[in-house]
Structure 1
Amino acid sequence: MTSHQHRPAEDLAALLTRLLDQVPDRTQKDLAIEAGVRYPTLNAWMNRTRGTTRIETQTLWALIDALRRWGVEVQPNDVFEAAGRPVPGRAGEEREQRLLKLYRQLPEERQRDLVKDAEAMLRISRVS
């Protein structure tokens, strides 16, 4: 399968099982320790006895990072989708989108004020 093809949807249990199969010398317990997750919690996700939609973003990133340290090729989008979570954008993009959304909600006069404030902050940051 090429990287351009999209896999059929997997839940987190199926995805983690498939990824752990790529490192036969590693176990669920190893993954839990490496990612800083309690083993009973990871095991419950793997056995589908505990939902995954409330897993914190940093926990999903910790799982991704642990697997990558073991040489497993894993895409963050796949992990977040499998957990039933929105796929996060880059932090900078998220901030820009939030700022733009807020800006568009302001009356025109306040938009001008915000631009002036941003320009002043930029000038100050260049001096410091």
Structure 2
Amino acid sequence: METEDTPPVEDFAQALAALKDEYQVSDSDIARAIGVSSAAVGTWVHRKRKPRREAIEALAAAYPKFTRERLFEAVGRDVPGPLSADAKERLLELFSELTAEQQEMKELEMRAIAERNRSKSS
């Protein structure tokens, strides 16, 4: 919500326009840099769709002046937490100690949470 004390929140199309201006790149340049189609970038520019997490991560990596935090906020999603190689290994070790039924239950639970995060503002 915009008030006198808080500036308006930047949406993803605005962030993308700022990125294009800052780096002097086109939709096609962005698409090539992050491995998506120019049409996909066009849907973001025209506010028809929001990018997937992988595309946001790739944008932040390819254009470092635009942080993960800024891009995820512009999409209206929480920033996924960091997951180091050590953390991945610990989680996989713990997961492997569960029964097949417990693994299935945990996977369903994690998918539901991830889906909620993806669709939070869609």
The TM-score with structure 2 as length reference comes to: 0.59
Structure 2 distance, partners of 1:12, 1:60, is: 10
Equivalent of 1:64 in 41, 44, 60: 60
Aligned-pair distance for 1:65? 1.4
**Which residue in 1 is equivalent to 2:78?**
86
Number of residues of Structure 1 aligned to a counterpart in Structure 2: 82
TM-superposition CA deviations, 1:69-113 (whole Å, max 9, x none): xxxx11211100111222111115xx69xx8xxxxxxxxxxxxxx
Structure 1 distance, partners of 2:29, 2:55, is: 15
**Which residue in 2 is equivalent to 1:104?**
none
TM-superposition CA deviations, 1:31-59 (whole Å, max 9, x none): 011110111011111011x221xx32221
- The change in CA–CA distance for 1:67 and 1:7 in structure 2 (over 3 A counts) is farther
Structure 1 distance, partners of 2:43, 2:55, is: 15
**Which residue in 2 is equivalent to 1:112?**
none
What SS does the aligned partner of 1:82 have?
helix
- The change in CA–CA distance for 1:58 and 1:22 in structure 2 (over 3 A counts) is same
Q: Does 1:46 align with 2:45?
A: yes
Structure 1 distance, partners of 2:23, 2:43, is: 20
**Which residue in 2 is equivalent to 1:74?**
66
CA RMSD of aligned residues (A): 2.2
Aligned-pair distance for 1:7? 6.3
What SS does the aligned partner of 2:63 have?
helix
Q: Which 5+ residue runs of structure 2 have no aligned equivalent? A: 1-5, 92-122
Structure 1 distance, partners of 2:57, 2:19, is: 15
The TM-score with structure 1 as length reference comes to: 0.56
Structure 2 distance, partners of 1:7, 1:63, is: 24
Q: Which 5+ residue runs of structure 1 have no aligned equivalent? A: 1-5, 100-128
Structure 1 distance, partners of 2:23, 2:67, is: 16
